[in-house]
Amino acid sequence: MGQNLNVLLVGNQNCGKSTLFNALTGSDQYVGNWPGVTVDKITGRIKHENITINDLPGLYSLSPYSPEEIVTREAILNSSDDDVILNIVDAAHIERSLSLTVELFSFNKKMVIALNMMDVAKANHIQIDAKELEKQLGCKVVTISASNDSDFSELIQAIKNAKQVKSNLIYQEEVINNNLNLIKDHLKIDNQSSYFIALSLLQNDSVFKTKYRDETLLSLIIRARTNIEQEYKIDTDELLAKLRYDFIANIVNKAVTFSQTTQNISRKIDAIVTNKYLAIPIFLAVIFVVYYLAVTTIGTWGTDYANDVIFGTYATDAANSLLESIEAPQWLSSLVVDGIIGGVGAVLGFVPQMIVLFMLLSMLEQSGYMNRVAFVLDRIFRSFGLSGRSFIPMIISSGCAVPAIMATKSIENINERRITVMTSHFVPCSAKLPIITMILAAFFNGAAWVAPFVYVLTFCSIIITALLLKKASAFKEAVSPFVIELPDYHMPKLKNTLRTTYNRCKSFVTKAGTIIFATVVLIWFLSSFNFTSNGFAMVDVSDSILAAIGGAIAFIFIPLGFYSWEATVAIVTGLLAKENVVGTMSVLLGLGEVAEDDAGLSMALHNVFTSEVAVLAFLAFNLFSTPCIAALGAMRRQLNSSKLFLFSVAYLLSFAYLLALSIYQIGGLILGVVSFNIFTVVNIILLLGLFYLLVRPENKNKLEPSIKVKVIS
Number of domains within the chain: 3
pLDDT band of 131, cuts 50, 70, 90: very high
Give Cα separations from 496 to 291, 311, 485, 508, 663 (angstroms).
21, 30, 20, 19, 40
Write down the pLDDT at residue 711. Answer: 27
- Asked if residue 345 lies in contact with residue 582, where contact means CB atoms within 8 angstroms, the answer is no
Write down the pLDDT at residue 478. Answer: 54
Q: What is the DSSP letter of 703?
A: B
Q: Which of 284-293, 315-324, 656-665 shows the highest mean pLDDT?
A: 656-665
pLDDT band of 545, cuts 50, 70, 90: confident
Write down the pLDDT at residue 405. Answer: 80
672 lies in the same domain as 558: yes
Q: With respect to residue 267, please indicate whether it lies within any of the assigned structural domains.
A: no
DSSP β-bridge partners for residue 86: 9, 112
Q: With respect to residue 700, please indicate whether it lies within any of the assigned structural domains.
A: no
Chain segment 433-444, per-residue pLDDT in tens:
788 888 887 788
Range of the domain at 583: 282-695
| pLDDT, mean of residues 497-518 | 72
- Asked if residue 469 lies in contact with residue 694, where contact means CB atoms within 8 angstroms, the answer is no
44 lies in the same domain as 155: yes
504 lies in the same domain as 598: yes
Q: With respect to residue 271, please indicate whether it lies within any of the assigned structural domains.
A: no
Q: With respect to residue 707, please indicate whether it lies within any of the assigned structural domains.
A: no
Which residues, other chains included, contact 578 with Cβ-Cβ below 8 Å and sequence gap of 6+? 429, 431, 432, 435, 622, 627, 628
Write down the pLDDT at residue 204. Answer: 85
Chain segment 518-535, per-residue pLDDT in tens:
766 777 777 777 777 777
Chain segment 355-395, per-residue pLDDT in tens:
887 788 788 877 878 778 877 877 777 777 777 778 778 87
Phi-psi region of 672 (alpha: psi -120 to 50; beta: other; left: phi over 0): left
pLDDT band of 703, cuts 50, 70, 90: very low
pLDDT band of 113, cuts 50, 70, 90: very high
57 lies in the same domain as 127: yes
pLDDT band of 29, cuts 50, 70, 90: very low
| pLDDT, mean of residues 227-245 | 86
178 lies in the same domain as 159: no
Chain segment 557-570, per-residue pLDDT in tens:
899 988 888 888 88
Domain finish residue from 138, 164, 190 = 164
Which of the pair, 288 or 330, is modelled with greater confidence?
288
Q: With respect to residue 703, please indicate whether it lies within any of the assigned structural domains.
A: no
287 lies in the same domain as 210: no
CATH of the domain at 126: 3.40.50.300
- Asked if residue 660 lies in contact with residue 457, where contact means CB atoms within 8 angstroms, the answer is no
69 pLDDT exceeds 50?
yes
Q: What is the DSSP letter of 477?
A: B
Q: Is 379 helix (H, G, I), strand (E, B) or coil?
A: helix
Q: With respect to residue 712, please indicate whether it lies within any of the assigned structural domains.
A: no
163 pLDDT exceeds 80?
yes
592 lies in the same domain as 654: yes
Share of the chain above pLDDT 90, in %: 14
Write down the pLDDT at residue 10. Answer: 92
| pLDDT, mean of residues 695-703 | 63
| Other Cβ atoms within 10 Å of 78 Cβ, number | 9
Write down the pLDDT at residue 338. Answer: 65
CATH of the domain at 254: 1.10.287.1770
Give Cα separations from 263 to 34, 479, 489, 493, 573 (angstroms).
36, 31, 8, 19, 50
**Global pTM value:** 0.57
DSSP β-bridge partners for residue 5: 51
Write down the pLDDT at residue 706. Answer: 42
88 pLDDT exceeds 90?
yes
Alpha-carbon gap, residue 114 to 130, rounded angstroms: 10
476 lies in the same domain as 608: yes
Write down the pLDDT at residue 347. Answer: 63
Write down the pLDDT at residue 493. Answer: 79
Q: With respect to residue 276, please indicate whether it lies within any of the assigned structural domains.
A: no
Q: What is the DSSP letter of 425?
A: G
548 lies in the same domain as 608: yes
Chain segment 590-639, per-residue pLDDT in tens:
654 444 445 566 677 787 888 889 999 999 999 999 887 777 877 887 78
pLDDT band of 87, cuts 50, 70, 90: very high
| pLDDT, mean of residues 295-300 | 75
516 lies in the same domain as 643: yes
Alpha-carbon gap, residue 289 to 255, rounded angstroms: 42
Write down the pLDDT at residue 302. Answer: 80
36 pLDDT exceeds 50?
no
119 lies in the same domain as 234: no
13 pLDDT exceeds 80?
no
Q: With respect to residue 235, please indicate whether it lies within any of the assigned structural domains.
A: yes
117 lies in the same domain as 219: no
Which of the pair, 617 or 180, is modelled with greater confidence?
617
316 pLDDT exceeds 60?
yes
Alpha helices in 590-671 (DSSP H): 599-608, 612-624, 629-639, 642-662, 668-671
pLDDT band of 260, cuts 50, 70, 90: low
Q: Which of 136-145, 298-307, 411-420 shows the highest mean pLDDT?
A: 136-145
Write down the pLDDT at residue 554. Answer: 84
Pairing verdict, β 51-55 and 40-45? antiparallel
